[in-house]
Amino acid sequence: MSNETLQAVKGMNDILPDEAELWLWFEEVIRDWLASYGYRNIRMPLVEPTALFKRAIGEVTDIVEKEMYSFEDRLNGDQLTLRPEGTASCVRAVLQHNLLYNAPQRLYYSGQMYRHERPQKGRYRQFHQVGVEALGFDGPDVDAEQILMCARLWKKLGLTDVTLQLNTLGDSACRQRHRAKLITYFEQHSESLDAEATRRLHSNPLRILDSKNPAMQALIEAAPKLMDELNEEALSHFAALQAILRQHDVAFEINPRLVRGLDYYNRTVFEWVTTRLGAQGTICAGGRYDGLIEQIGGKPAPAMGFAMGVERLLVLLQEGGMALPRSKVDVYVVHQGELASQLASKVAEQLRDSGLRVLLHCGGGSFKSQMKKADSSGARVALVIGDDEARANEVSVKPMQGGEQVKVSVDELTVTINKFFKQE
Rounded to the nearest 10 degrees, how much is the dihedral formed by the CA atoms of 282, 284, 289, 294?
110
Size of the site for ligand HAM (CB under 6 A): 27
State which of positions 98-157 bind ligand HAM (CB under 6 A): 115, 117, 123-124, 127, 129, 131, 133
- Closer CB to ligand HAM, residue 107 or residue 413? 107
User: What is the helix (H) or strand (E) element at residue 229, kind and residue range?
Assistant: none
* CA neighbor of 308 nearest in space, from 65, 143, 146, 136: 146
State which of positions 327-386 bind ligand HAM (CB under 6 A): none
Q: Give me the least distance between CB of 371 and ligand HAM, in Å please.
A: 44
Q: Which CB contacts under 8 angstroms, 24+ apart, belong to 342-346?
A: 342/390, 343/385, 343/389, 343/390, 343/393, 343/395, 343/410, 344/383, 344/385, 346/410
State which of positions 26-85 bind ligand HAM (CB under 6 A): 85
- Closer CB to ligand HAM, residue 115 or residue 398? 115
Among 305, 347, 348, 361, the residue binding ligand HAM under the rule CB under 6 A is 305
Q: How far is it, in rounded angstroms, from Cα 198 to Cα 187?
A: 9
* Relative orientation angle of helices 87-96 and 50-57, to the nearest 10 degrees: 110
Q: How far is it, in rounded angstroms, from Cα 285 to Cα 282?
A: 7
State which of positions 206-265 bind ligand HAM (CB under 6 A): 261-262
Q: Give me the least distance between CB of 7 and ligand HAM, in Å please.
A: 19
For 22, the 3-state DSSP assignment is: helix
- Closer CB to ligand HAM, residue 127 or residue 238? 127
Q: Give me the least distance between CB of 60 and ligand HAM, in Å please.
A: 16
Task: Enumerate residues 6+ apart whose C-beta is below 8 A from 402.
Answer: none
Q: Give me the least distance between CB of 280 and ligand HAM, in Å please.
A: 7
- Region of 360 (left: φ > 0; alpha: ψ -120 to 50; beta: rest) is beta
Binding mask of the shown chain, residues 262 to 301, with x at each position contacting ligand HAM by CB under 6 A: x-------------------xxxxxx-x------------
- Closer CB to ligand HAM, residue 48 or residue 394? 48
Q: Which residue is nearest to ligand HAM (CB)?
A: 309
Q: Give me the least distance between CB of 407 and ligand HAM, in Å please.
A: 55
Q: Give me the least distance between CB of 120 and ligand HAM, in Å please.
A: 9
- Closer CB to ligand HAM, residue 11 or residue 365? 11
How, if at all, do strands 303-309 and 282-288 pair?
Answer: antiparallel
Cα 324 → chain centroid: 18
- Closer CB to ligand HAM, residue 287 or residue 291? 287
- Closer CB to ligand HAM, residue 268 or residue 336? 268
Q: Give me the least distance between CB of 308 and ligand HAM, in Å please.
A: 6
DSSP per residue, 154-222: HHHHT--SEEEEEEE---HHHHHHHHHHHHHHHHHTGGG--HHHHHHTTT-GGGGGG---GGGHHHHHT
In the complex, the residues that contact ligand HAM under the rule CB under 6 A are 85-87, 115, 117, 123-124, 127, 129, 131, 133, 261-262, 282-287, 289, 305-309, 311-312
